[in-house]
Chains A and B, each alone.
Chain A
Amino acid sequence: METEQIVKLEGVYKRFPAGKTEFTALNNISLAFGKGEFAGLVGPSGSGKTTLLNIIGSLDSPSEGTADVLGKRINTLSHKEAALLRNMGIGFIFQTYNLLPVYTVYDNVEFALLLQKRGAAERKKAVMEALEWVGLTEKANSKPSALSGGECQRVAIARAMVKRPQLVLADEPSANLDSKNSHHIVQTMKRLNKELGTTFIFSTHDEKVMQYLDRIIQLQDGMVVNQTGL
């Protein structure tokens, strides 16, 4: 596999204070992700999946080791630089959708572009396209409260994808969805992965999601214990 590496972790540790001692949530993780990968972190609860995604997403930084994402060293980014990196290069999808309840579907998706200061016409075109990808064009003016869980997660996918980021991080995107919707959203993401070449990194313990993954990284107690698909 000789693709461009867009995420490179070397000897990453993450320790959290736990009373008088420290708790090691990530224990010497070295991983790399190439452009266009469709990969997943799996493992039991508490194994460090979210912690790892947070570091890749520049929401947190390693206690030790280095993390390079889209050409930036996460360890040394300022708040502002990290915000810019997320704004331009990384899309997030959360287990609980995290849509803005006071905004319509359209506004929620547009929000990501407003942060990028894009022109109105360009925004409109991109938002409609993103809603098409997830099949929600006719719900553009609905509020999230009027949508099903599956629809909400599709809005979240559109929001993450509308700015066409190089990297999308999805933390247990199907955990709150039924089987049919789980399949649907992962299929949607897989399609976008193929069409746009976006790199997807999941965290999941959902078998239904795993079957679509090209690469599975198994975590346990903050360590990589097994990898398949490489």
Chain B
Amino acid sequence: MEWLSIKLAFRNLMGSGKRTWLNVTVLSIAFVVIVFYNGLLDGWNLQAKRDTKAWETGSGRIDHVLYDQFDPLSLVDAHAPLGDMLKAEIESGRAVAVLAVQASAYPNGRMVNVLLKGIDPAQKTLLLPTAALDSGRVEGDPAIPVIVGDRTAKSAKLKEGDVMIVRWRDVNGTFDAREVRIAGIFKTTVPTVDGGQLWMPLEDLREMTSLYGEATYLVLSDEVIASGDFDSTGVLSGEWRYVDENALMKEIDDIIKTKRASSMIMSMLLLGIALLAIFDTQILSIFRRQKEIGTYIALGMTRLRVIGIFTIEGTVHSILAILLGLIWGMPLLKLIQYVGLPMPAGTDQVGLAIADKIVPAYSAGMIMASVVLVIVTSFIVSYIPARKISKMKPTEALRGKLL
């Protein structure tokens, strides 16, 4: 009998022609757009996290307890000498130390605030091309080699080989100055290792600031996963704090969340239009087919069953829409995934790692969730008008009287 309802619903729907296909088409567009947007955001999220991990955060960080990456003033005190255990981690290549100091730079006579970041030129933990800090050293030239990101280079009109002065306060609070030379300009999707940051050899920065053997934070390489390693040995006591990957990625998650909310509005609007069309069709078809409804009841169908037939009929829209969406949407979405989606220049303003191209990620779970969303909402808008049938008198339905 359930099969009968489904068969009947399909036949009726197929028999009702153009209107059905219009509804199905609109709904299939909504479905594909929902999958596309979600895939885009999932892809962006993945890429942003992958790149942030590769360029900035590694597999986690050990921060000086006073270090707050969003507050440059915290840097004044956020540094400490490394204990033996942390030193051992660095020596074994499982971590890389970074010392961060606020400074001013004078590119082309202008003053800009910069962050000096000292890092071991031989490090392999991050993708930063720090090897240039060694190879870029010019014999007999006191200027310290630095590398900068292309955003910084562009905004300060710097090019490779340029020399400029940086000024900073030393531990005693007095100003000191040195020349630095641009030894390399790197291109990264991660704005937070770029904007206003000069990367230089760690030992040079330690010497400039007299912070010998000190660091602001340690970036952990892939081999170090658990904070337990550190806790058990007690190295984290007091001055250091372990920050895991999830905490470091929280900002990305937050941004993606707001992006998702705004893209949802667009998807839901489209879905809403499609659902409204189905709702409308349902009302119309229940109105037009009173005689048929009366006939079902005269033949001995319960009203509940008749409501079921009409609800299934409306819901079948969504099944057809999903099938149709797969037919035209799958190749399209695959193609977008294959070529990537070029992002317009200036999108890096959002403060989130963003590549020139985003490769959408369509996970089975996300697609299933979209399918369920479309089916469930169609079911609801099909059911609501169909409920009216239970209030119909069969005698009046048979006469085709107005509701």
> What residues of chain A have their CB less than 8 Å away from a CB belonging to chain B?
54, 57, 59-60, 79-80, 83-88, 90, 92, 94, 96, 98, 100-103, 111-112, 114-117, 159
A87 with B12, Cβ < 8 A, contacts A60-B393, A117-B1 known: no
Q: List residues of B (276-335) whose CB comes within 8 Å of A's CBs.
A: 291-292, 294-295, 297-303
In the complex, what distance in Å separates the CA atom of A150 from the CA atom of B174?
A: 110
Question: Main SS of the interface on chain B?
Answer: helix
B300 and A98 contacting across the interface, CB-CB below 8 Å? no
A83 with B302, Cβ < 8 A, contacts A60-B393, A101-B15 known: yes
Query: What are the residues of chain B within 8 A of A59 when measuring CB–CB?
Result: 297-298, 394-395, 398
B300 and A86 contacting across the interface, CB-CB below 8 Å? yes
A79 and B303 contacting across the interface, CB-CB below 8 Å? yes
A167 → chain B closest CB, angstroms: 13
The total number of A-B Cβ pairs within 8 Å is 67
Mark contacts of B77-117 with chain A using CB atoms, 8 A cut-off: 1 yes-contact digit, 0 otherwise.
Answer: 00000000000000000000000000000000000000000
B291 and A83 contacting across the interface, CB-CB below 8 Å? no
Cβ-closest chain A residue relative to B302:
A83
A115 with B297, Cβ < 8 A, contacts A59-B398, A96-B291, A102-B11 known: no
Query: What are the residues of chain B within 8 A of A112 when measuring CB–CB?
Result: 299-300
Query: What are the residues of chain A within 8 A of B394 when measuring CB–CB?
Result: 59-60
B164 → chain A closest CB, angstroms: 80
In the complex, what distance in Å separates the CA atom of A83 from the CA atom of B398?
A: 15
Of the candidates B1, B8, B398, the one having the most CB atoms from chain A within 10 angstroms of its own CB is B398
A114 and B4 contacting across the interface, CB-CB below 8 Å? yes
Cβ-closest chain B residue relative to A60:
B395
B11 and A103 contacting across the interface, CB-CB below 8 Å? yes
B9 → chain A closest CB, angstroms: 10
A98 with B302, Cβ < 8 A, contacts A59-B297, A114-B1 known: no
Query: What are the residues of chain A within 8 A of B11 when measuring CB–CB?
Result: 102-103
Mark contacts of B1-29 with chain A using CB atoms, 8 A cut-off: 1 yes-contact digit, 0 otherwise.
Answer: 10010001001101100000000000000
In the complex, what distance in Å separates the CA atom of A117 from the CA atom of B2?
A: 11
A98 with B291, Cβ < 8 A, contacts A59-B398, A114-B4 known: yes
A100 → chain B closest CB, angstroms: 7
Query: What are the residues of chain B within 8 A of A92 when measuring CB–CB?
Result: 295, 298-299
In the complex, what distance in Å separates the CA atom of A80 from the CA atom of B299?
A: 13
Cβ-closest chain B residue relative to A156:
B295
A102 and B1 contacting across the interface, CB-CB below 8 Å? no
Residue contacts A-B, CB under 8 angstroms, 24 given: A60-B393, A79-B302, A80-B302, A83-B301, A83-B302, A83-B303, A87-B299, A88-B300, A90-B300, A92-B299, A96-B291, A98-B291, A98-B295, A98-B298, A100-B8, A100-B292, A103-B8, A111-B299, A114-B4, A115-B1, A115-B4, A115-B300, A116-B300, A117-B1
In the complex, what distance in Å separates the CA atom of A90 from the CA atom of B298?
A: 9
B299 and A86 contacting across the interface, CB-CB below 8 Å? yes
B392 → chain A closest CB, angstroms: 11
> What residues of chain B have their CB less than 8 Å away from a CB belonging to chain A?
1, 4, 8, 11-12, 14-15, 291-292, 294-295, 297-303, 393-395, 398
Query: What are the residues of chain B within 8 A of A159 when measuring CB–CB?
Result: 299
A83 with B300, Cβ < 8 A, contacts A59-B395, A96-B291 known: yes
In the complex, what distance in Å separates the CA atom of A79 from the CA atom of B301?
A: 10
B394 → chain A closest CB, angstroms: 5
A57 with B393, Cβ < 8 A, contacts A96-B291, A100-B292 known: no
A115 and B398 contacting across the interface, CB-CB below 8 Å? no
In the complex, what distance in Å separates the CA atom of A54 from the CA atom of B395?
A: 7
A100 and B393 contacting across the interface, CB-CB below 8 Å? no
Query: What are the residues of chain B within 8 A of A83 when measuring CB–CB?
Result: 297, 300-303
A222 → chain B closest CB, angstroms: 15
Query: What are the residues of chain B within 8 A of A87 when measuring CB–CB?
Result: 299-301
Query: What are the residues of chain B within 8 A of A60 when measuring CB–CB?
Result: 393-395
8 cross-chain pairs, A with B, having the tightest CB-CB distances, nearest first: A87-B300, A102-B11, A86-B300, A102-B15, A98-B295, A92-B298, A83-B302, A59-B394
In the complex, what distance in Å separates the CA atom of A103 from the CA atom of B295?
A: 14
In the complex, what distance in Å separates the CA atom of A115 from the CA atom of B2?
A: 10
Of the candidates A79, A80, A83, A96, the one having the most CB atoms from chain B within 10 angstroms of its own CB is A83
| A59-B297, A98-B298 given; 15 more Cβ-contact pairs under 8 Å | A59-B395, A60-B395, A79-B303, A86-B297, A92-B295, A94-B298, A98-B291, A98-B294, A100-B8, A111-B4, A112-B299, A115-B299, A115-B300, A115-B301, A116-B300
Cβ-closest chain A residue relative to B291:
A98
In the complex, what distance in Å separates the CA atom of A92 from the CA atom of B294?
A: 11
B295 and A100 contacting across the interface, CB-CB below 8 Å? yes
Query: What are the residues of chain A within 8 A of B15 when measuring CB–CB?
Result: 101-102
In the complex, what distance in Å separates the CA atom of A111 from the CA atom of B300?
A: 10
In the complex, what distance in Å separates the CA atom of A223 from the CA atom of B89?
A: 105
Cβ-closest chain A residue relative to B298:
A92
A98 → chain B closest CB, angstroms: 4
In the complex, what distance in Å separates the CA atom of A83 from the CA atom of B393?
A: 13
B362 → chain A closest CB, angstroms: 36
In the complex, what distance in Å separates the CA atom of A111 from the CA atom of B292?
A: 13
Cβ-closest chain A residue relative to B11:
A102
In the complex, what distance in Å separates the CA atom of A77 from the CA atom of B173?
A: 96
Q: Give which listed residue, B12, B298, B302, contacts A102 with CB less than 8 A.
A: B12
Query: What are the residues of chain A within 8 A of B302 when measuring CB–CB?
Result: 79-80, 83
Query: What are the residues of chain A within 8 A of B12 when measuring CB–CB?
Result: 102
In the complex, what distance in Å separates the CA atom of A86 from the CA atom of B11?
A: 25
